[in-house]
Structure 1
C-alpha cells in the first residue's frame, strides 16, 4: 500500500490526525503532571510533618521525590505507551505476550530511571551544599515540582517512543543507575576490584545496580524489535538484501538476555554463572560491532569508518590495561562500556534514518507525509526473511557464543 501526491485527501487527513494526536499527548502530559504534583504535595506534607529536611538521605527531598516519581511514573509510562503506540507497526508486529512484557519492562525502566536520576542529582547537590536543611515549605515545593517535571517527561517519552529515543532511554537509565550505585556504595573502595563489586552484598546500592542491569537487558530485547523494523524499512526502501537483519536481531536479544542474567546472579552469588552471562554480553557486543558493517551493506560509509575507529579504540583500551598496565580492570570496563554504548547509539541513529523514494513529482511540502505513510504501511506488513536462512544464521550465532562462553568457563576453572 502506497500513497502518492494524487491523493490530497489522505495527506490532509494525515496532517489533521498528527496535529490532533500531538494535542492529545500534550494535554495528557499536563494532566499527569498535575496529578503527580498533587501526590508529591500530599506526600511531602505527610512525610516531612513540618520538619526541616536535607536534600538527600533516608527522609529527604531527593529520597521522597524519587520514591513518588517512581511509583507514579510506572503506571503513567505504561498507560501513555499503550495509548499512543498501540496502532503502530512495531506494536502490531509483536505477539500479545511480548507486548505485555515490553510494556512492563519499559514502564519499570522509565520509572526506575526517574527515581535513580532524581536520587543522583539530589545526592550531588547535597555534596555541594553540605549540612543544608530546607524548611517544610521549601522542601514541599521542591518535591512537588520535581515529581511533576519527571512525570511530564515520562509521559511524553512513552507517548512518542521511537528506536532512537528508546536507545537514549537505555543509555540514560544505565548512567543514572550506575552513578547512583557508585554514590551510595557500601564499600567506598569498590573501584579497586571491578564493576561487578557494585552488585555485591545486601545494601540498597547493590540492589539498585543489579536492577539497573536487569532492566537494561529487558530494554535491549525490546529495542531489538524496534531496530529490526527500522532496518527492514531502510533496506526495503533501498532495495537491499534483508538476510542480515535476523542475525543482528538475534545477537541483540542474546546481549539482552545475558544482561538480565548478570543482574539476576550477582558475582557473590555465583562467580561462574555471573561471569558466563557477563562474557556472553561482551562477546555479543563485539560480534555486533564486527558483523553489522559486514551484513548490513547499505549503512553510510561514514558509519563504517567510525565503527573501525571504535574497534581500534577498544583494542587500545585493552592494551592500556594489559600488558601496559596503565589502569586497572575497573577503568577498562568503564572505558569499554562507554565506547560500546556510544557506538550502539550511533548504530541505532543510522539504522533509523530511512530514505524512501516518494513520488519524484510531489512537492517538498508533501514529501514528508508521503514518506511517513509509505514507511508505516510497509512496516505494518509481516516481517519477511525469517525463514530457514534467518533461523540458521541465528543458530550459528548462538552456537558460536555458547562455544566461546564454554571456553571462557574452562579457562576460569583452570585458574
Structure 2
C-alpha cells in the first residue's frame, strides 16, 4: 500500500489564501514543487464581468458611427486617411484601454484585492503610459500590415463600426485582465515587448531603408521620421524598469538585508536611467557628446554588474555566474574586434551588444523576481507520514 503524508502549514500562510476549512483542494507536482489550488481551474482565473468591457465598447462604437454619419462618409478605408478605421481604432482604443486599466487598478488597489495592492501608487503613471504605448505600437503595426495586404480597401460605415467595436472590446478585456493579474513577471514582459516592439516598429516604418548603414542610434535622430517613437520607447523602457526594480526590491528586502542589496538596486536604477537618457538625448549634433558618454556609462554599468554579481545577488547560482561571465567575455571580445578590425560594422556591433546585454538583464531580473517572490511568500511547513490504522 502506498504511503500517505500530511502537510502542516502555518496560519499566516493559510490567511493569504481564499480557502475555507474542510474544502477539497487539488494537488499537483511540477518541477519538484508541490502546488495546492482549488479543484475548479476557473476559480483561479480573474472574474471579468462581460459588461465591464462590452458597454464601453458599444458607447465608443456608437460615437464612431455618429461621427462618420454626421460627416456623411459612407465608406471608410482601413488606413491611409485621416478618417480611417486605423485612426479610429488607435484614438478610441488607446483611450479606452488606458481608462479600463486605470479604473481596474485603482479600484482593486483601494479595496486591497488582487496583485495591484502590492504596487506603489508612484508606479501607476509609468505602467499606464507604457501600456498605452504598447497598444499604440501594436495597433500601428497591425494596421500597417493590413494596409500593405489590403491596399485601397474600404468598408461601409456599419462594417467599419463593427470592426471598431471588436477591437475596442478586445483591448478593454486585455487591459482589465492585465490590471487583475499584474505582477513582476508581467511588467518584465511589458518591458520586453515595449523595447523590442518599439524598435522593430521604428525600423519598419522609418523613412530611410538604409538606416543600418549609419548606426543603431540613427533611429533616434532627427533624420529618421519615426525618431519620436524610438526615443519615447527608450524613455519609458527606462522608467518601466525603475518601477519594476522598485517593486522587486521592496519585496526582496523583507528577507535579504544589507548594503549589497542596495548596491545591486542602485546599479540597476542607474542602468535604467541611462536607457531613458539615451532616448531623452538622441544622437543629434547638439547632444552627440552627451549621447555617446551616456552610452558608454551604460556599458560600464553593465560590465560592473557582471563582475560584482557574485557578491551582490543573494543565492546566486553557479549556472547564472557562468552565463554572466560568458556574456561579459563575448561582449569584451566583440568590442576588441570592432575597435581593431573592420570585420563588424558599427550597426552590427551595437545590435550584438544590445542583444547580449538585454538577454542578460532579463535573466538577472528573473533571478531577482524569484528571490522577491520566495522572500514574500516563503513559509515553513512540516511533512509528516500518516499512520495507517488498518494495519
Q: What residue number does 1:37 align with?
A: 57
Superposed counterparts of 1:400-415, under 5 Å: none
5+ residue gaps, structure 1, are 364-415
Is the radius of gyration larger for structure 1 or structure 2? 2
Q: What residue number does 1:73 align with?
A: 97
| CA 1:110–1:204: 2 relative to 1, 3 Å | farther
Superposed counterparts of 1:14-413, under 5 Å: 14-15=18-19, 25-27=46-48, 30-45=50-65, 46-47=67-68, 49-55=73-79, 58-85=82-109, 87=112, 99-201=120-222, 205-232=226-253, 236=255, 242-268=258-284, 269-319=286-336, 321-353=338-370, 354-355=373-374, 356-361=378-383
Offset, 1:340: 1.9
| CA 1:102–1:11: 2 relative to 1, 3 Å | closer
| CA 1:11–1:209: 2 relative to 1, 3 Å | same
| CA 1:5–1:357: 2 relative to 1, 3 Å | closer
Distance 1:9 1:203 in 2: 54
For residue 223 of structure 1, give the secondary structure of its aligned residue in structure 2.
helix
Asked if structure 2 preserves the Cα contact closer than 8 Å seen for 1:41 and 1:143, the reply is: yes
Distance 2:156 2:384 in 1: 62
TM-score by length of structure 2 reads 0.76
| CA 1:277–1:66: 2 relative to 1, 3 Å | farther
For residue 26 of structure 1, give the secondary structure of its aligned residue in structure 2.
coil
Range with greater deviation from structure 2 (136-145 or 154-163): 136-145
Distance 2:358 2:88 in 1: 31
Offset, 1:91: 7.7
Range with greater deviation from structure 2 (115-124 or 350-359): 350-359
Distance 1:114 1:193 in 2: 30
> CA RMSD of the aligned region, Å?
3.6
| CA 1:22–1:120: 2 relative to 1, 3 Å | farther
- State the Cα deviation string for residues 199-252 of structure 1 (Å, max 9, x = none): 22287622222211111111111111122135335xx3xxx6643211111112
TM-score by length of structure 1 reads 0.72
Asked if structure 1 preserves the Cα contact closer than 8 Å seen for 2:98 and 2:175, the reply is: no
Distance 1:39 1:326 in 2: 58
Distance 1:325 1:247 in 2: 38
Asked if structure 1 preserves the Cα contact closer than 8 Å seen for 2:234 and 2:275, the reply is: yes
How many residue pairs get aligned? The number is 349
Distance 2:77 2:88 in 1: 11
Offset, 1:23: 8.2
Asked if structure 2 preserves the Cα contact closer than 8 Å seen for 1:164 and 1:345, the reply is: no
Distance 2:336 2:52 in 1: 50
Offset, 1:292: 2.2
Greater helix proportion: 1
Distance 1:358 1:300 in 2: 22
Offset, 1:53: 0.6
Distance 2:330 2:13 in 1: 52
Distance 1:255 1:105 in 2: 17
5+ residue gaps, structure 2, are 1-7, 21-36, 386-391
Distance 2:283 2:13 in 1: 60
Range with greater deviation from structure 2 (49-58 or 139-148): 49-58
Asked if structure 2 preserves the Cα contact closer than 8 Å seen for 1:164 and 1:348, the reply is: no
Distance 1:351 1:362 in 2: 32
| CA 1:40–1:231: 2 relative to 1, 3 Å | same
Asked if structure 1 preserves the Cα contact closer than 8 Å seen for 2:234 and 2:276, the reply is: yes
Asked if structure 1 preserves the Cα contact closer than 8 Å seen for 2:220 and 2:283, the reply is: yes
Distance 1:63 1:297 in 2: 49
